[in-house]
Structure 1
Amino acid sequence: MYKVFVNDKPLFLTNKVAKETDFQLFLLESVDIEQLIVKMFNNKIRKAYLYYPDEKEILKKVKEKIPVKKAGGGLVYNKNGDVLFIFRNGKWDLPKGGCDKGEEIEDCSIREVEEETGVQDLIITRKLQKTYHIFKRNGVYRLKITHWFEMTTNFEGTPIPQAEEGIEKVAWLNPEQIKDAMKNSYENIKLLFEEENESKIKI
């Protein structure tokens, strides 16, 4: 099952039919996906399931209905064990961004972290999960698939927010500060920290 966020509301891609309680179920083959997305953006639907019988094919089928934007991002630790955050659009987020044509996803992720925060000397330590969310650009809804990597750095300079990307500040947050930041962050970022929680951070 995949969990796609539409305006921070969950849209599950599933091959199982469950009895509806607090959600609405739609058939992927017949749904007007744009209409469904609009309803979720407008808070008319708060939680939905898209059903398709073949789990291996379900994401491919969604990609046929909505354009995909590939992105890369980093969950970056410094030598003190703090995590690199950006503050944009009134929320705490992790640095990430779209890939250039032909760019390897690892290179994209490192480049985006460097551009958005000014932090350098990044080393990828492991691949994390992908996250999925739908956004609107130039009147078109797109599915953003973000590939996340855990990274480390010995960078000791001052981080610089990329103002032209709307980033207001960059900060290294310790585990206690991360708990507060999660109260004002995105569901996809919370998912990453749930995964990370199993190894390093106790949220």
Structure 2
Amino acid sequence: MYTIYVGDKPIILTTKVEKETNFKSFLLKSVNIGKVIKLLTTTDLQAVHLIHNNHEKLLKLFLKLLPNVVAGGGKVYNAKNEILFIYRNSKWDLPKGKVESKESIEETAIREVEEETGVDGLKITKPLTTTYHIFKRNGKHKIKITYWFEMKTEFDGKLFPQEKEGITKVKWLDDKASQKALENSYANIKILV
């Protein structure tokens, strides 16, 4: 099973056929993805299930429905075990961004965290869940695939929000503050934190 978000509403890729309650089901092979996005954004429907009988093909078939944007990002811990958050588009988020040519996904994740926050001395400690969400740019829908990594740093300097990327704040948040920030965040970020 895979979950792709449209806003905070999930598209669930599954092999199981279930009785529809607060969701609708469609066959993945013949689905009109534009119709699905519209249903999720303009109705009170809570989710959409896209069904295919082969689990191995679920994600591969889905990713063919829209152009893909690949990104890397970090859930960064400092020496006090606080998590690095950015504030952009009136929501708390974790730093991430698109792959540039000839970069590994790990290099992308580190570069993006550095650019968006001013933090350096980053070390990847482990890979985290890959997230998927649909967004709209220039009138076209795309699927963002974000590869996340847990990182650690001893960085103790000044934080610099990358304003040209729309980031207005960068903060280290402890457990309590992280939970509060998640109340105004994205579904994908809630999964990671």
Shorter-chain TM-score tier:
over 0.9
Structure 2 equivalent of residue 170 of structure 1: 170
Structure 2 equivalent of residue 183 of structure 1: 183
Shift of residue 41 of structure 1?
2.4
Shift of residue 74 of structure 1?
0.2
Shift of residue 65 of structure 1?
1.4
C-alpha distance in 2, partners of 1:172/1:144? 25
Counterpart of 1:106 in 2: which secondary structure? helix
C-alpha distance in 1, partners of 2:73/2:6? 19
Structure 1 segments, 4+ long, off by >6 Å, are none
C-alpha distance in 1, partners of 2:129/2:45? 26
Deviations 1:144-189 (A, max 9, x none): 1100000000111111000000001000000111111111111101
Give the counterpart letter for 2:22 in structure 1.
D
C-alpha distance in 1, partners of 2:43/2:96? 26
Counterpart of 1:158 in 2: which secondary structure? coil
C-alpha distance in 2, partners of 1:24/1:183? 27
Alignment of 1:107-118 (within 5 A): 107-118=107-118
C-alpha distance in 2, partners of 1:39/1:24? 9
User: Percent identity of the aligned residues?
Assistant: 50
Shift of residue 138 of structure 1?
1.4
C-alpha distance in 1, partners of 2:86/2:78? 15
TM-score normalised over the length of structure 1: 0.92
Do 2:7 and 2:186's aligned partners in 1 also have CA atoms closer than 8 Å?
Answer: no
C-alpha distance in 2, partners of 1:187/1:179? 13
1:128 to 2:128 alignment = yes
Counterpart of 2:50 in 1: which secondary structure? strand
Structure 1 equivalent of residue 28 of structure 2: 28
> Structure 2 unaligned runs (5+)?
none
> Structure 1 unaligned runs (5+)?
194-203
C-alpha distance in 2, partners of 1:57/1:10? 19
Give the counterpart letter for 2:23 in structure 1.
F
Structure 1 equivalent of residue 139 of structure 2: 139
TM-score normalised over the length of structure 2: 0.97
Tell me the C-alpha RMSD between the 2 structures: 1.0
Counterpart of 2:53 in 1: which secondary structure? coil
C-alpha distance in 2, partners of 1:45/1:36? 10
Q: How many residues are treated as equivalent by the alignment? A: 193
Structure 2 equivalent of residue 3 of structure 1: 3
C-alpha distance in 2, partners of 1:68/1:48? 20
Counterpart of 2:29 in 1: which secondary structure? coil
Deviations 1:20-52 (A, max 9, x none): 111100111111112211222223533110011
Give the counterpart letter for 1:6 in structure 2.
V
Structure 1 equivalent of residue 106 of structure 2: 106
Give the counterpart letter for 1:75 in structure 2.
K
Give the counterpart letter for 2:186 in structure 1.
Y
Structure 2 equivalent of residue 201 of structure 1: none
Give the counterpart letter for 1:161 in structure 2.
P
Give the counterpart letter for 1:165 in structure 2.
E
Structure 2 equivalent of residue 94 of structure 1: 94
